[in-house]
Amino acid sequence: MIEKLDEVFEECPFPNALEAMGERWSFMILRGAISGLKHFEEFQSNLGIARNILANRLTRLVEKGILLREPMSCDRRKVEYRMTQKAKELAPMMVALRQWGEKWECCAHSKPQLCDTRDGKPIKPVKIFAHDGRELAMEDLVWVLPNGSRVPEDADKTLAA
């Protein structure tokens, strides 16, 4: 069954998304960028990351289109790292991962909390919603192939066709 699921999910974007972000430092760099860090030295001093590792991760994030490396307008010899639209669209995943970590791995209400800029109140947990606005639980979700068959229930039929 696993081999068949591997075939069904052959073009699954999940492994590619994980590969694009890499490992812990890539997430920490993106968190820094979300918090307003833009320069190599800012990332290095705020994250406490070794310079060679930071250079490697920044290069990878630029190559993957998550960060943009641009010369500063006031001093073209210096560069800034800016978030691309691709990076901004990672925000819900980053928030969900942080909330999961607070609940299961670390501590409830870690500091600082992520809050709404309008009223300063902490945001609610990230949820999954249906097209009509209903909140969904894991039991409500199913993978569906373009031909309409469901995975894994119909995996044998799909692959036999």
pTM of the model: 0.77
C-alpha count within 13 angstroms, C-beta hemisphere, residue 59: 6
CB atoms within 10 A of CB 98: 17
The verdict on domain 12-89 having CATH code 1.20.1560.10 is: no
Pairing type for strands 135-136 and 128-129 reads antiparallel
Spell out a b/e string for 40-54, using b for 16 or more CB atoms within 10 Å of the CB, else e: bebbbeebebeeeeb
Per-residue pLDDT for the chain (161 aa), expressed as one digit of tens each? 444 666 767 777 777 777 777 788 999 999 999 999 999 999 999 999 999 999 999 999 999 999 999 998 888 889 999 999 999 999 999 999 888 888 888 766 667 888 999 999 999 999 999 999 999 999 999 988 888 888 876 544 444 44
Instruction: Kindly list the domain boundaries of the chain, sorted by start residue.
Output: 12-89
Residue 79 bridge partners (DSSP): 71
CA distance 78 to 92: 31
Cβ contact 92:100 at 8 Å: no
